[in-house]
Amino acid sequence: MAFVLGPGLLTNPNFYSRIEYIKTNTLWWQLGWSVWIFTAFTFFVFTVCLWRHHLALGTSSFNRKLLITAVDLAAVAVLLDSHAELGQILDVTALVSHYGEGPIRKEFIASQVLFMFESGTVANFMYCLATNCSVIATKNHYPKWLFNVGLAVFFVGLIASGLAFIAGFLCGDMQDNPLRTILVATNAILFPLLVLWQLGIAYKSKGENNA
């Protein structure tokens, strides 16, 4: 994401550079967001599989409720996330294609801020809540290090959601915004942690299925 989409996002403080990047790399821009939509869907599938796995193991009623809540939160998050990402693919690309025909700066920035708020703040916050429900529900089932990684995903994700809200929604264009670098760094930490947690859960669960 940082390499393919980064130059066209609000985290690039140069408005004209963002416009030019999206205009000259439209295919990569659209493919990058398409991959991101698929990634969001895999989070939902993972949450459903985790719920079904522990349902088969006969987990407690309280933990079952936590896991189904995680599934519900993940479903809503994916819908919001996908809507925002489709907006980046269709709406933002359409605006960029008409650049030079009229003043689009305000409309372009407003669209990116809206989609950042929908995806980076609201959907990301719901992903965090879904992860936390799953982590708590499976606390006594997996090694402590997996529990700690899951908690790290939750807290780092919350920080990323808050930064996206402040930096994008409240500040608009991120020109000279000091939170820009922090937001990029936070997301660079968040996603490897999420992948590590999911792979750890999948590996341990596969071992149980083979036992």
Give the pLDDT of the chain (211 residues) as one tens digit per residue: 667 888 888 777 778 888 899 999 999 999 999 999 999 999 999 999 999 999 998 889 999 999 999 999 999 999 999 999 999 999 999 988 877 655 677 888 888 888 988 999 999 999 999 999 999 999 999 999 999 999 999 999 999 998 888 876 665 555 566 777 788 889 889 999 999 999 999 998 876 665 5
Instruction: Flag whether 211 is in a domain.
Output: no
Tokens of 43: 């989070």
Instruction: Flag whether 169 is in a domain.
Output: yes
Range of the domain at 55: 6-206
Q: What is the rounded CA–CA span in Å between residue 201 and residue 183?
A: 27
Query: pTM for the complete prediction?
Result: 0.88
Instruction: Flag whether 60 is in a domain.
Output: yes
Q: Is 31 helix (H, G, I), strand (E, B) or coil?
A: helix
Residue 87 neighbours by CB distance under 10 Å: 18
Question: How wide is the angle at C-alpha 77 spanned by C-alphas 201 and 3, nearest 5°?
Answer: 80
Could you give the number of structural domains in the chain?
A: 1
Tokens of 34: 């398409």
Instruction: Flag whether 47 is in a domain.
Output: yes
Instruction: Flag whether 1 is in a domain.
Output: no
